[in-house]
Protein backbone atom coordinates (compact mmCIF):
# COMPACT_ATOMS: atom_id res chain seq x y z
CA UNK A 1 0.00 0.00 0.00
CA UNK A 2 1.22 3.44 -0.91
CA UNK A 3 1.41 5.67 2.13
CA UNK A 4 1.56 9.21 0.76
CA UNK A 5 2.09 12.26 2.94
CA UNK A 6 2.44 15.89 2.01
CA UNK A 7 4.00 18.27 4.50
CA UNK A 8 4.32 22.04 4.21
CA UNK A 9 4.47 24.86 3.51
CA UNK A 10 8.03 25.49 4.63
CA UNK A 11 9.07 29.12 4.77
CA UNK A 12 12.60 27.81 4.18
CA UNK A 13 13.78 24.31 3.39
CA UNK A 14 17.53 24.03 3.90
CA UNK A 15 18.14 20.90 1.84
CA UNK A 16 21.92 20.47 2.40
CA UNK A 17 21.90 18.95 -1.10
CA UNK A 18 24.52 19.31 -3.84
CA UNK A 19 27.33 20.49 -1.57
CA UNK A 20 30.94 19.29 -1.67
CA UNK A 21 31.94 16.55 0.76
CA UNK A 22 35.24 18.18 1.67
CA UNK A 23 36.49 21.63 2.56
CA UNK A 24 35.23 25.03 3.68
CA UNK A 25 31.66 26.11 2.90
CA UNK A 26 30.01 29.49 2.62
CA UNK A 27 26.39 30.10 3.59
CA UNK A 28 25.74 31.35 0.04
CA UNK A 29 26.34 27.80 -1.17
CA UNK A 30 23.30 26.48 0.73
CA UNK A 31 20.22 25.58 -1.28
CA UNK A 32 17.33 27.28 0.51
CA UNK A 33 13.92 26.64 -1.02
CA UNK A 34 11.06 29.01 -0.15
CA UNK A 35 7.37 28.12 0.28
CA UNK A 36 7.81 24.49 -0.65
CA UNK A 37 6.29 21.22 0.43
CA UNK A 38 7.63 17.68 0.63
CA UNK A 39 5.71 14.73 -0.73
CA UNK A 40 6.79 11.44 0.78
CA UNK A 41 5.88 7.87 0.01
CA UNK A 42 6.38 5.19 2.65
CA UNK A 43 8.90 7.33 4.51
CA UNK A 44 10.96 8.26 1.44
CA UNK A 45 11.05 11.72 -0.09
CA UNK A 46 9.30 11.54 -3.45
CA UNK A 47 9.02 15.14 -4.52
CA UNK A 48 9.95 18.63 -3.31
CA UNK A 49 8.22 21.59 -4.91
CA UNK A 50 5.91 24.57 -4.69
CA UNK A 51 3.50 23.77 -1.87
CA UNK A 52 0.30 24.98 -3.53
CA UNK A 53 1.13 23.05 -6.68
CA UNK A 54 1.78 19.86 -4.71
CA UNK A 55 -1.58 20.32 -2.92
CA UNK A 56 -3.44 20.69 -6.21
CA UNK A 57 -1.74 17.62 -7.67
CA UNK A 58 -2.20 15.43 -4.58
CA UNK A 59 -4.20 12.20 -4.83
CA UNK A 60 -7.27 11.59 -2.64
CA UNK A 61 -5.40 9.25 -0.33
CA UNK A 62 -2.56 11.67 0.41
CA UNK A 63 -2.39 12.67 4.07
CA UNK A 64 -1.81 16.42 4.46
CA UNK A 65 0.30 17.79 7.28
CA UNK A 66 -0.30 21.50 7.13
CA UNK A 67 2.21 23.64 8.97
CA UNK A 68 0.70 26.71 10.62
CA UNK A 69 2.99 29.73 10.89
CA UNK A 70 6.58 29.93 9.71
CA UNK A 71 8.67 26.80 9.68
CA UNK A 72 12.24 26.05 8.63
CA UNK A 73 13.04 22.44 7.71
CA UNK A 74 16.43 20.74 7.87
CA UNK A 75 17.51 17.14 7.40
CA UNK A 76 17.25 15.23 10.69
CA UNK A 77 20.58 15.61 12.49
CA UNK A 78 23.09 12.76 12.61
CA UNK A 79 25.25 12.25 15.69
CA UNK A 80 28.15 10.14 14.41
CA UNK A 81 29.91 9.42 17.72
CA UNK A 82 28.35 8.55 21.09
CA UNK A 83 28.69 6.13 23.99
CA UNK A 84 25.09 6.28 25.28
CA UNK A 85 24.85 2.62 26.35
CA UNK A 86 26.29 2.56 29.87
CA UNK A 87 25.52 2.04 33.54
CA UNK A 88 26.34 4.30 36.48
CA UNK A 89 27.41 7.94 36.54
CA UNK A 90 30.74 9.73 36.71
CA UNK A 91 29.52 12.89 38.42
CA UNK A 92 32.22 12.35 41.05
CA UNK A 93 34.96 12.34 38.35
CA UNK A 94 33.63 15.61 36.98
CA UNK A 95 33.70 17.27 40.40
CA UNK A 96 37.19 15.93 41.12
CA UNK A 97 38.51 17.11 37.76
CA UNK A 98 37.15 20.57 38.35
CA UNK A 99 38.69 20.54 41.83
CA UNK A 100 42.07 20.08 40.15
CA UNK A 101 42.67 16.32 40.36
CA UNK A 102 44.56 14.67 37.52
CA UNK A 103 43.29 11.82 35.36
CA UNK A 104 45.61 9.43 37.17
CA UNK A 105 44.47 10.52 40.61
CA UNK A 106 40.86 10.08 39.52
CA UNK A 107 41.58 6.60 38.14
CA UNK A 108 43.31 5.67 41.41
CA UNK A 109 40.27 6.87 43.36
CA UNK A 110 38.17 4.38 41.38
CA UNK A 111 37.04 6.72 38.59
CA UNK A 112 37.69 6.81 34.84
CA UNK A 113 36.52 4.44 32.10
CA UNK A 114 36.99 1.39 34.36
CA UNK A 115 34.38 2.71 36.79
CA UNK A 116 31.83 2.78 33.96
CA UNK A 117 32.92 -0.72 32.89
CA UNK A 118 32.20 -2.00 36.41
CA UNK A 119 28.77 -0.32 36.48
CA UNK A 120 27.90 -1.46 32.95
CA UNK A 121 28.86 -5.05 33.74
CA UNK A 122 26.62 -4.88 36.85
CA UNK A 123 23.64 -3.66 34.80
CA UNK A 124 21.19 -6.19 33.35
CA UNK A 125 20.50 -6.22 29.60
CA UNK A 126 17.03 -4.79 30.26
CA UNK A 127 18.51 -1.94 32.23
CA UNK A 128 21.00 -1.12 29.47
CA UNK A 129 18.26 -1.22 26.83
CA UNK A 130 16.10 1.13 28.91
CA UNK A 131 18.93 3.58 29.55
CA UNK A 132 20.02 3.61 25.92
CA UNK A 133 16.45 4.27 24.79
CA UNK A 134 16.01 7.08 27.30
CA UNK A 135 19.18 8.84 26.15
CA UNK A 136 18.37 8.29 22.48
CA UNK A 137 14.90 9.81 23.00
CA UNK A 138 16.54 12.93 24.39
CA UNK A 139 18.63 13.19 21.21
CA UNK A 140 15.51 12.71 19.10
CA UNK A 141 13.81 15.65 20.83
CA UNK A 142 16.84 17.74 19.85
CA UNK A 143 16.37 16.88 16.18
CA UNK A 144 18.75 13.91 15.94
CA UNK A 145 17.25 11.10 13.85
CA UNK A 146 20.34 8.86 13.57
CA UNK A 147 22.78 8.25 16.40
CA UNK A 148 25.88 6.11 16.45
CA UNK A 149 26.36 4.11 19.68
CA UNK A 150 29.59 2.45 20.76
CA UNK A 151 30.17 -0.51 23.01
CA UNK A 152 33.44 -0.33 24.96
CA UNK A 153 32.23 -0.53 28.56
CA UNK A 154 32.06 -4.33 28.54
CA UNK A 155 35.66 -5.17 27.62
CA UNK A 156 35.32 -8.95 27.45
CA UNK A 157 33.74 -11.03 24.70
CA UNK A 158 30.59 -11.69 26.71
CA UNK A 159 30.20 -8.21 28.16
CA UNK A 160 30.76 -6.54 24.80
CA UNK A 161 28.11 -8.88 23.37
CA UNK A 162 25.73 -7.87 26.15
CA UNK A 163 26.16 -4.22 25.20
CA UNK A 164 25.89 -4.72 21.44
CA UNK A 165 22.81 -6.94 21.78
CA UNK A 166 21.25 -4.27 24.03
CA UNK A 167 21.96 -1.61 21.38
CA UNK A 168 20.41 -3.83 18.70
CA UNK A 169 17.28 -4.42 20.79
CA UNK A 170 16.99 -0.72 21.70
CA UNK A 171 17.16 0.08 17.99
CA UNK A 172 14.12 -2.06 17.27
CA UNK A 173 12.14 -0.36 20.06
CA UNK A 174 12.58 3.30 19.08
CA UNK A 175 12.08 5.51 16.04
CA UNK A 176 15.60 6.95 15.96
CA UNK A 177 18.17 4.80 14.09
CA UNK A 178 21.00 3.49 16.26
CA UNK A 179 24.20 2.60 14.37
CA UNK A 180 26.32 0.27 16.51
CA UNK A 181 30.12 0.34 16.69
CA UNK A 182 32.32 -2.17 18.53
CA UNK A 183 34.79 -0.34 20.79
CA UNK A 184 36.18 -3.37 22.62
CA UNK A 185 39.55 -1.63 22.11
CA UNK A 186 38.66 1.19 24.53
CA UNK A 187 41.29 0.18 27.11
CA UNK A 188 42.87 -3.09 28.23
CA UNK A 189 40.53 -4.42 30.93
CA UNK A 190 42.07 -4.46 34.39
CA UNK A 191 41.04 -8.07 34.91
CA UNK A 192 42.80 -9.35 31.76
CA UNK A 193 46.17 -10.76 32.78
CA UNK A 194 47.80 -10.91 29.31
CA UNK A 195 49.31 -8.18 27.16
CA UNK A 196 47.48 -5.53 25.15
CA UNK A 197 48.21 -7.53 21.98
CA UNK A 198 46.82 -10.70 23.53
CA UNK A 199 43.62 -8.95 24.58
CA UNK A 200 43.07 -7.60 21.07
CA UNK A 201 43.85 -11.00 19.53
CA UNK A 202 41.20 -12.60 21.72
CA UNK A 203 38.63 -9.98 20.80
CA UNK A 204 39.30 -10.20 17.07
CA UNK A 205 39.26 -13.99 16.96
CA UNK A 206 36.30 -14.60 19.31
CA UNK A 207 34.12 -11.49 19.06
CA UNK A 208 34.45 -10.33 15.42
CA UNK A 209 32.86 -13.49 13.91
CA UNK A 210 29.85 -13.18 16.27
CA UNK A 211 29.39 -9.51 15.31
CA UNK A 212 29.04 -10.69 11.71
CA UNK A 213 26.85 -13.70 12.51
CA UNK A 214 24.38 -11.77 14.65
CA UNK A 215 24.69 -8.55 12.61
CA UNK A 216 25.56 -6.61 15.75
CA UNK A 217 27.97 -4.06 14.24
CA UNK A 218 29.69 -3.22 10.96
CA UNK A 219 32.13 -0.84 12.54
CA UNK A 220 35.29 -1.31 14.61
CA UNK A 221 36.73 1.53 16.69
CA UNK A 222 39.89 1.76 18.80
CA UNK A 223 41.21 4.32 21.28
CA UNK A 224 44.81 5.03 20.29
CA UNK A 225 46.43 6.82 23.21
CA UNK A 226 49.13 6.27 25.80
CA UNK A 227 46.52 5.18 28.37
CA UNK A 228 44.80 2.83 25.92
CA UNK A 229 46.39 1.16 22.85
CA UNK A 230 49.49 1.96 20.80
CA UNK A 231 49.56 2.18 17.01
CA UNK A 232 51.57 -1.06 16.97
CA UNK A 233 48.98 -2.87 19.13
CA UNK A 234 46.20 -1.81 16.81
CA UNK A 235 47.81 -2.75 13.47
CA UNK A 236 46.99 -6.50 13.49
CA UNK A 237 43.58 -5.74 15.04
CA UNK A 238 42.55 -3.35 12.28
CA UNK A 239 44.09 -5.61 9.61
CA UNK A 240 41.84 -8.44 10.77
CA UNK A 241 38.81 -6.14 10.95
CA UNK A 242 39.42 -4.84 7.44
CA UNK A 243 39.93 -8.33 6.04
CA UNK A 244 36.55 -9.28 7.51
CA UNK A 245 34.90 -6.28 5.85
CA UNK A 246 34.31 -4.02 8.86
CA UNK A 247 34.44 -0.24 8.54
CA UNK A 248 37.12 1.37 10.70
CA UNK A 249 36.94 4.46 12.89
CA UNK A 250 39.47 5.74 15.42
CA UNK A 251 39.57 7.73 18.67
CA UNK A 252 42.59 9.69 17.47
CA UNK A 253 44.89 12.50 18.59
CA UNK A 254 42.85 13.27 21.73
CA UNK A 255 45.78 13.96 24.08
CA UNK A 256 48.74 12.96 21.89
CA UNK A 257 49.19 12.48 18.15
CA UNK A 258 49.51 9.19 16.28
CA UNK A 259 45.95 7.92 15.99
CA UNK A 260 45.15 9.99 12.90
CA UNK A 261 48.09 8.43 11.02
CA UNK A 262 46.68 4.98 11.81
CA UNK A 263 43.26 6.11 10.61
CA UNK A 264 44.84 7.14 7.30
CA UNK A 265 46.90 3.94 7.08
CA UNK A 266 43.75 1.82 7.36
CA UNK A 267 41.57 4.07 5.23
CA UNK A 268 39.24 4.60 8.19
CA UNK A 269 35.88 6.27 7.65
CA UNK A 270 36.71 8.79 10.33
CA UNK A 271 39.28 9.98 12.85
CA UNK A 272 37.48 11.42 15.86
CA UNK A 273 38.64 13.90 18.54
CA UNK A 274 41.82 15.43 16.97
CA UNK A 275 42.12 18.04 19.74
CA UNK A 276 45.90 17.47 19.76
CA UNK A 277 46.37 17.40 15.98
CA UNK A 278 49.03 19.80 14.69
CA UNK A 279 49.49 21.26 11.21
CA UNK A 280 51.30 18.08 10.21
CA UNK A 281 48.37 15.78 11.05
CA UNK A 282 45.90 18.25 9.53
CA UNK A 283 47.82 18.28 6.21
CA UNK A 284 47.91 14.47 6.09
CA UNK A 285 44.21 14.15 6.93
CA UNK A 286 43.34 16.66 4.21
CA UNK A 287 45.13 14.54 1.60
CA UNK A 288 43.20 11.43 2.70
CA UNK A 289 39.55 10.42 2.54
CA UNK A 290 39.31 10.14 6.32
CA UNK A 291 36.57 12.31 7.78
CA UNK A 292 37.65 14.47 10.72
CA UNK A 293 35.06 14.34 13.48
CA UNK A 294 35.16 17.12 16.05
CA UNK A 295 33.75 16.32 19.50
CA UNK A 296 33.15 19.66 21.21
CA UNK A 297 31.27 17.95 24.03
CA UNK A 298 34.50 16.28 25.15
CA UNK A 299 36.34 19.62 25.11
CA UNK A 300 33.56 21.15 27.21
CA UNK A 301 33.46 18.20 29.58
CA UNK A 302 37.22 18.10 30.09
CA UNK A 303 37.78 21.85 29.87
CA UNK A 304 40.38 21.54 27.13
CA UNK A 305 41.03 22.82 23.61
CA UNK A 306 38.57 22.33 20.78
CA UNK A 307 39.38 20.30 17.69
CA UNK A 308 41.03 22.73 15.19
CA UNK A 309 37.92 22.68 13.00
CA UNK A 310 38.70 25.89 11.10
CA UNK A 311 42.16 24.69 10.14
CA UNK A 312 40.86 21.24 9.16
CA UNK A 313 38.25 22.75 6.84
CA UNK A 314 40.65 25.28 5.35
CA UNK A 315 43.13 22.49 4.66
CA UNK A 316 40.38 20.71 2.73
CA UNK A 317 39.12 18.09 5.19
CA UNK A 318 35.58 16.82 5.51
CA UNK A 319 34.47 17.86 9.01
CA UNK A 320 31.72 16.08 10.95
CA UNK A 321 30.63 17.24 14.41
CA UNK A 322 29.38 14.76 17.03
CA UNK A 323 28.44 14.87 20.71
CA UNK A 324 30.64 12.02 22.07
CA UNK A 325 27.85 11.68 24.66
CA UNK A 326 29.43 9.52 27.39
CA UNK A 327 29.46 9.48 31.20
CA UNK A 328 33.13 10.49 31.55
CA UNK A 329 34.28 13.23 29.22
CA UNK A 330 31.03 14.38 27.59
CA UNK A 331 27.97 14.01 29.81
CA UNK A 332 25.94 16.84 28.22
CA UNK A 333 24.78 15.05 25.08
CA UNK A 334 23.31 18.06 23.28
CA UNK A 335 24.66 18.04 19.73
CA UNK A 336 23.18 21.33 18.51
CA UNK A 337 24.40 23.28 21.54
CA UNK A 338 27.89 21.85 21.22
CA UNK A 339 28.06 22.42 17.47
CA UNK A 340 26.98 26.05 17.99
CA UNK A 341 29.64 26.59 20.67
CA UNK A 342 32.31 25.06 18.43
CA UNK A 343 31.12 27.39 15.68
CA UNK A 344 31.64 30.46 17.80
CA UNK A 345 35.12 29.46 19.02
CA UNK A 346 36.37 28.10 15.69
CA UNK A 347 34.65 30.66 13.43
CA UNK A 348 32.66 28.26 11.32
CA UNK A 349 29.96 29.24 8.87
CA UNK A 350 26.38 28.07 9.44
CA UNK A 351 26.80 25.91 6.35
CA UNK A 352 29.89 24.21 7.79
CA UNK A 353 28.20 23.47 11.10
CA UNK A 354 24.98 22.20 9.54
CA UNK A 355 26.99 20.07 7.08
CA UNK A 356 28.89 18.60 10.04
CA UNK A 357 25.70 17.31 11.64
CA UNK A 358 23.91 16.25 8.45
CA UNK A 359 25.42 14.95 5.20
CA UNK A 360 29.04 14.96 6.34
CA UNK A 361 28.07 13.01 9.47
CA UNK A 362 26.14 10.59 7.23
CA UNK A 363 29.34 10.03 5.23
CA UNK A 364 31.24 9.33 8.48
CA UNK A 365 28.75 6.53 9.10
CA UNK A 366 28.83 5.30 5.49
CA UNK A 367 25.12 6.08 5.11
CA UNK A 368 24.07 7.19 1.65
CA UNK A 369 20.32 7.54 2.22
CA UNK A 370 20.18 10.46 4.65
CA UNK A 371 21.67 13.81 5.65
CA UNK A 372 20.08 15.72 2.74
CA UNK A 373 16.51 16.61 1.83
CA UNK A 374 16.43 15.10 -1.61
CA UNK A 375 14.28 12.76 -3.72
CA UNK A 376 14.95 9.14 -2.81
CA UNK A 377 16.34 10.02 0.62
CA UNK A 378 14.74 9.13 3.97
CA UNK A 379 12.10 11.60 5.12
CA UNK A 380 14.05 12.45 8.30
CA UNK A 381 13.41 16.08 9.20
CA UNK A 382 13.99 18.58 12.00
CA UNK A 383 11.53 21.50 11.95
CA UNK A 384 12.03 24.84 13.68
CA UNK A 385 9.36 27.44 14.28
CA UNK A 386 11.03 30.45 12.64
CA UNK A 387 11.20 32.25 9.31
CA UNK A 388 15.00 32.21 8.99
CA UNK A 389 17.47 29.34 9.42
CA UNK A 390 20.07 31.78 10.83
CA UNK A 391 18.04 31.86 14.06
CA UNK A 392 18.82 28.21 14.78
CA UNK A 393 22.56 28.34 15.53
CA UNK A 394 22.31 31.93 16.75
CA UNK A 395 20.52 30.70 19.87
CA UNK A 396 23.38 28.27 20.52
CA UNK A 397 21.19 25.25 21.04
CA UNK A 398 18.52 26.76 23.30
CA UNK A 399 16.16 27.02 20.33
CA UNK A 400 14.86 23.47 19.97
CA UNK A 401 12.98 21.82 17.11
CA UNK A 402 9.19 22.01 17.26
CA UNK A 403 8.71 18.79 15.31
CA UNK A 404 10.85 15.86 14.27
CA UNK A 405 10.01 13.37 11.51
CA UNK A 406 11.71 9.97 11.17
CA UNK A 407 11.03 7.89 8.06
CA UNK A 408 8.10 10.22 7.35
CA UNK A 409 6.50 9.73 10.78
CA UNK A 410 5.98 12.55 13.23
CA UNK A 411 7.97 11.22 16.19
CA UNK A 412 8.24 14.38 18.25
CA UNK A 413 5.83 17.30 18.51
CA UNK A 414 6.65 19.98 21.06
CA UNK A 415 3.00 20.94 21.37
CA UNK A 416 1.56 17.53 22.10
Among 154, 296, 308, 327, which residue interacts with ligand NIG (rule: CB under 6 A)?
327
Binding site for Fe ion (CB under 5 A): 324
Binding partner of 113, given Fe ion, ligand NIG, none, CB within 5-8 angstroms per partner class: ligand NIG
Rounded Cα gap, residues 392 and 307, in angstroms: 22
Rounded Cα gap, residues 397 and 15, in angstroms: 20
CB atoms within 10 A of CB 52: 13
Mark out the alpha helices in 303-385 (DSSP H runs).
309-315, 335-346, 350-356, 359-364
What is the smallest separation between the CB atom of 251 and ligand NIG, expressed in angstroms? 5
* Position 131 contacts ligand NIG (CB under 6 A): no
- Strand, coil or helix: 88: coil
* Position 270 contacts ligand NIG (CB under 6 A): no
In the complex with ligand NIG, the residue whose CB is nearer, 67 or 276, is 276
What is the smallest separation between the CB atom of 223 and ligand NIG, expressed in angstroms? 5
Footprint on residues 101-130 left by ligand NIG (CB under 6 A): 113, 116
CA distances from 39 to 42, 83, 371, 380 (A): 10, 35, 17, 13
Footprint on residues 222-261 left by ligand NIG (CB under 6 A): 223, 251, 254
In the complex with Fe ion, the residue whose CB is nearer, 275 or 372, is 275
* Position 156 contacts ligand NIG (CB under 6 A): no
In the complex with Fe ion, the residue whose CB is nearer, 116 or 349, is 116
CB 326 within 8 A of CB 94: no
Please give the size of the binding site for ligand NIG, defined by CB under 6 A: 12
* Position 346 contacts ligand NIG (CB under 6 A): no
In the complex with Fe ion, the residue whose CB is nearer, 324 or 334, is 324
Closest among 155, 322, 182, 157 to 238, alpha carbons compared: 182
Rounded Cα gap, residues 354 and 394, in angstroms: 12
Closest among 77, 20, 23 to 362, alpha carbons compared: 77
Among the residue ranges 19-27, 157-165, 321-329, 406-414, the one whose residues contact ligand NIG (CB under 6 A):
321-329
State the DSSP code for 397: T
CB 288 within 8 A of CB 265: no
In the complex with Fe ion, the residue whose CB is nearer, 40 or 136, is 136
- Strand, coil or helix: 248: strand
Q: Residue-wise over 145-160: b if at least 16 C-beta within 10 A, else e?
A: bbbbbbbbbbbbeebb
CB 45 within 8 A of CB 374: yes
Among 73, 308, 328, 371, which residue interacts with ligand NIG (rule: CB under 6 A)?
328
Binding partner of 329, given Fe ion, ligand NIG, none, CB within 5-8 angstroms per partner class: ligand NIG
In the complex with ligand NIG, the residue whose CB is nearer, 89 or 388, is 89
Rounded Cα gap, residues 225 and 245, in angstroms: 25
In the complex with ligand NIG, the residue whose CB is nearer, 162 or 186, is 186
What is the smallest separation between the CB atom of 23 and Fe ion, expressed in angstroms? 25
Closest among 27, 29, 52 to 39, alpha carbons compared: 52
* Position 326 contacts ligand NIG (CB under 6 A): yes
Binding partner of 131, given ligand NIG, Fe ion, none, CB within 5-8 angstroms per partner class: none
Among the residue ranges 170-178, 214-222, 281-289, 327-335, the one whose residues contact ligand NIG (CB under 6 A):
327-335
State the DSSP code for 203: I
Give the footprint of ligand NIG on this chain (CB under 6 A).
83, 113, 116, 223, 251, 254, 298, 324, 326-329
Amino acid sequence: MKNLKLIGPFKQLVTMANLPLKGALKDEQLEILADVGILMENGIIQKIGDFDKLVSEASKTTVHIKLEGNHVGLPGFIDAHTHICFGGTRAKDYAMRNAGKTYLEIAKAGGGIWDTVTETRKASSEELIKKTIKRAQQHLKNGVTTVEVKSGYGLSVNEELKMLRAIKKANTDIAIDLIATCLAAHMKPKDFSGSHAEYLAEISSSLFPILKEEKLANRIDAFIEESAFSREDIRPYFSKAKAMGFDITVHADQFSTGGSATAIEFDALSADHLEASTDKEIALLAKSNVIATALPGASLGLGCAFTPARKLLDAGCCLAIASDHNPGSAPMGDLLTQAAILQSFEKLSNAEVLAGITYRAAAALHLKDRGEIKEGFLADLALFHTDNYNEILYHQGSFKPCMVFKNGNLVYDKHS
